[in-house]
Each structure stands twice: as C-alpha cells, then as structure tokens.
Amino acid sequence: MTVIHDGVDAPSRRLLGLVDKTFEHRCIRRRSAESSGGRREPEARPGVAPWPPVARLLFGGLPICSVFACTAGFLGTSCSTGAAATGAGATERVGEELGLPPGEAAAPGEEDPGPRVGDQEENPADLIIGAILPVSGSPSLRRYARLLVEGLETGVVLARETGLRVELRVEDNQGTVSGSVRGASELVALGVLAILGPLDANNLRAAARAAPGEMAFFSPTARQVPYGRRGVYSMAAGDPEAGRTLARAVWKLGFANAVIVHPRSPGDDVEMDAFQRTFASLGGVVERRIRYRPGTTTFEQSLAEVKSLAPSLLVVAAPPADVELLAPQIAFFGLDETDLQVAGTAGWTAPSVIERVPHRHTDGVIALSTVPPGAVREPPPEFVAAYETLFRRSLNSPVPAVGLDLLRMALGAYGEGADEPAEVAAGLERVGSFEGATGTYSFAAGRLGRRYFPVRILQGALHPAGADPTPIPPSGDKVREAPPPAR
C-alpha cells in the first residue's frame, strides 16, 4: 500500500509551504521586467537569505511572496459575529451534506467556542484572508467550522516558521444568509484578498452577491456555485473532469451504450453533461438519462425503466447518501440478474459507502476516486505534528487538512501576482494544478477541479478499473432483502 503524504514525497512537500525553520526570508512583491511572461519574481531584502530553490517550485514555479501574521486561536484569530442573525435556515441539512453524523456534534457540556480572540500582531500584515463560517451555528456546523479554522491556524504556524505572515479574519455567519451577507460586507471593508467559505450554496450565493464582483470565494462544501459568477470556487461543486474521466474509463473497458441515472441537481448535471459529450465523442451512445428528485428513497420506477432498456452499462451519478439507498435496490429490483455493468462517480468511493453498504452491492462497480488504487492519502507529517503540538490532541479528522488546502489556494493566487481581489482568478489560472493535503486540484476555465482515478470496487477495496471483476462467491443461499421504505 502506498501512503501519500500531501500527494507527494518529502522534498516536494516542502515546496508546498511546509519548509523548515532555516528558511528565514522576506520578499518584495513587485513585478520585474526580467521575469519571463511578465510574472513576478521575488527579490531578497538586503541581509536576508534568498528564496530557497525548492520553494520556487511552489504552485507551478513561483513562491508565495507573503508574510504571515494570523490572528486566530493561539495566534489570535480575529473573529466577529456582528448583529445576531435570525433563522436556522438549512443548517441541519448542510450538516448532513458535510457528512457529519450526530456523533460529530459537540457533546453536551463540551465547550465549543469556535475561533478564539487574541491580541493583534504589532507589525501589520501584507495580506489579509477572510473567512465566513458558522462559528455559532448548529452543533455539527459549529464543530466543522472549528476544525476548519484549526487547519488554517496550523497552516499559519507552519508558514510563520518560514518567516511568512498573513492575517486571517473570521466572520461568524451563524449558518444564515443574513449573517453571510453581513460577513461579506465586513470583510470587503477590511480589504481582504479572498474569502474562505461560506459552507452551503445558499449562503455562498448570498455572500457573493453582497461582495464586489471581483471578490474571490473558496468554499469547502457548497454543492453549487453561482452561475456566471467568476472567481467563486467550491471543492464540492460539480466537476466536468469527473464525467470525462469516467467516460474514457468505461469506453476503454469496451462499453459502448449506457443509461444514466442521477438526481436533478446542477452539480450532477454538469458531470453527466461532460460524461455524455465525452462518451459520444469516443463513439458511445447514451440511450437515456433518468433524473430523479433529490430526497428520493425508493428507485423502483427508475430502475424498472433501466431494466426495460437493457443497456450494457448503468451509470449512477449520485451523492454518497443516495448511493447508500440506491445500490441495494439495484439488486432488489432484479438488475443484478442481467448482464449489466454498474459505474458511478466519486460518491461510490466515499468512506460512508465503502463502510456501510454490504460488499455484494458494490462489488465490481467501476467508479472514481481522488486517490490512486491501493494508496491512502494522509496529511503530511509536518502538518500533523504542528496540529497536535498546537492543540494538544491527536488529529483524528480530515477537516483541518481541508482548511490548509483552502489557505494554499488563496496564497497560490497571491504568489502568482494577485495583489487585488480582481486578480485572484487570473492568478489561479497561472497556478494550474497542485498537490494538496486532500487531493490534486486544478484551476481552469474558471472552475476548481480535481484529479480522478478510475477504480473497481472489490470487497470494499479500490483496485485498478481493469481488474478482474469476478466477485468472491458468497457462502450459503442468496437472500433477497426486504423492499426499501416507501417514499
């Protein structure tokens, strides 16, 4: 098994900002006439060591030219709540979308204050990054926000060890639209370069509408970004590359006709539009796309339609919660008795699906993963050590690493010459792609994308897509499960 620390080996991890304490340096943020293509080259201050060669490879060739001075937690992150926002909105639903079960909420009596207020740095920062998070939202969202900010704080600690400083300002939206609008206005007035968050699509849309059109937003969990609004990115929004990668994989395996089942949602539409176009360009035919309403629990009608069409390939593009319900029903309604190959997007390889769905319902499925087959993506040891030293507890959640990657995205644009919010989108296009703690990300055509690996699921493990799909025969007679609950 290959263990991926930050997606790359130890020397390369250092170029992602995890450099050691000996790299004491500053840089003057200016454009140089000698720079190729008009891109910024940092110049060392007198008496300060030049930028380390390994750091020059950061984000496609340019180092981050910034100075860190976070005001969060132990470093004094400034957090503002402003006037109380009213209405719970969709906070509980967002908690479910984040994959936070009730056990993830703060335990009764457990203090969960969110970011802690501390003293400001004496020296002003060169760069301010804002965040809009539900610091005092529902218990599950509050816990997620706290973990996310802890990842940001840890990234700041690592950066400070290199002599870099950035100021982080957190606005508490309390999980509401009104709080998101107020938070965006406050951060814009402070002169932030970019805003991390909000978490869900409605709050993200409201915040983006309240900010100038050039302000960049980076959400870790929003399922949709505002249509036509440049500079708004989400790790969880629909990604055309997912559809393209899956189409190429199933065509390579010999499948030429398919039926698609997916929910009526913008993200899944984006991915399946890309699948259909790519599949058709290769010579494949999508016989039908069957859309179901979000929240559906019984898929008898959709699956009966699939069975009547008798395709060689069924593509199920659905979020993990839907896959948990849909996968057993494929067998229950008799599609497992046909010569049908099931394929799907990254929802099929989510930990919740792998752990909760019986293997007989996922064996042989061709799906997508953000980790290569047989590998395990883990945060870099430098990040883990810094986190556990800072917070005096083990790192048992993937959320802080998400915060680290969000911070890197904003700083990557800054390192590529983005001095103003209006320049962030162009800076990210120059960043191209980079290995993060949570995946391989890329910026192109105004979208944040990820790299996907085609895999075949066998006995709960991810194998290369071309692996032998023959499942291990179950012992005893086949037992058909009871029908799912009625909608």
Domains of the chain by start residue, with CATH:
2-61 (no CATH), 240-374+453-464 (3.40.50.2300)
pLDDT reading at 379 higher than 70 = yes
Question: How far apart (Å, rounded) are the C-alpha atoms in residues 386 and 395?
Answer: 10
pLDDT for residue 77: 54
Least confident of 118-127, 132-141, 423-432: 118-127
Mean pLDDT of 362-387: 91
pLDDT for residue 115: 42
5-9 CB contacts, 8 Å cutoff, 24+ apart:
5/378, 5/379, 5/380, 5/381, 6/379, 6/380, 6/383, 6/435, 6/436, 6/437, 7/377, 7/435, 7/436, 7/437, 7/439, 7/440, 8/435
pLDDT for residue 87: 36
Question: What confidence tier does 79 reach under pLDDT thresholds 50, 70, 90?
Answer: low
pLDDT for residue 123: 64
Least confident of 194-208, 341-355, 423-437: 423-437
pLDDT for residue 30: 32
- Using a cut of 0.95, tell me whether the model's pTM lies above it: no
pLDDT reading at 125 higher than 50 = yes
DSSP letter for each residue of 274-326: HHHHHHHHHT-EEEEEEEE-TT----HHHHHHHHHH--SEEEE---HHHHHHH
Token readout for 134 is: 């539900």
Distances (CA, A) of 67 to 129, 156, 329, 383, 411: 12, 10, 54, 19, 10
Percent of the chain residues topping a pLDDT of 70: 71
Least confident of 64-68, 133-137, 420-424, 430-434: 64-68
Question: How far apart (Å, rounded) are the C-alpha atoms in residues 229 and 256?
Answer: 36
pLDDT for residue 473: 54
pLDDT reading at 93 higher than 50 = no
Which of 106-110, 130-134, 350-354, 481-485 is modeled with the greatest confidence?
Answer: 130-134
Question: What confidence tier does 468 reach under pLDDT thresholds 50, 70, 90?
Answer: confident
